[in-house]
């Protein structure tokens, strides 16, 4: 089973959200549709701008915890290295 660490954004250089999931398609869909009240619906964080897979949920959680301690600039650099135009990657994972 692949698990994912992912970054969502409200816009280029906008509000960021870091998460972890075992079902990336379903989780991003939930963010996009506002299925749950909370941070991403409050701040309109609906674009998947970066993700990475790991073979275990433990590995994904460990990576998420590391990244939560990162400076914002490091997260932005990670996004821009893989996705310089901050395109919404949701369609690429369907």
Q: What is the 3-state secondary structure (H, E, C) of the chain?
A: CCEEEEEEECCCCCCEEEEEECCHHHHHHHHHHCCCCCHHHHCCCCEEEEEEEECCHHHHHHHHHHHHCCCHHHHHHHHHHHCCCCCCCHHHHC
pLDDT digits (tens, 9 = 90+) for 42-84: 999 999 999 999 999 999 999 999 999 999 999 999 999 999 9
The CATH number of residue 36's host domain is 3.40.1440
Q: Band the pLDDT of 1: cuts 50, 70, 90.
A: confident
Q: pLDDT averaged over the chain? A: 97
Q: Does this model's pTM top 0.85?
A: yes
**Section 10-31 average pLDDT:** 97
Domain that holds residue 52: 3-93
What total number of domains does the chain contain? 1
């Amino acid at each position: 089973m692949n698990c994912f660490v992912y970054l969502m954004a409200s816009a280029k250089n906008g509000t960021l959200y870091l998460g972890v999931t075992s079902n990336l398609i379903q989780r991003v869909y939930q963010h996009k549709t506002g299925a749950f009240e909370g941070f991403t619906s409050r701040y309109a964080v609906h674009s998947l701008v970066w993700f990475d897979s790991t073979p275990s949920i433990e590995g994904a959680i460990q990576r998420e915890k590391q990244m939560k301690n990162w400076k914002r600039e490091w997260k932005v650099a990670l996004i821009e290295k893989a996705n310089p135009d901050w395109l919404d990657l949701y369609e690429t994972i369907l």
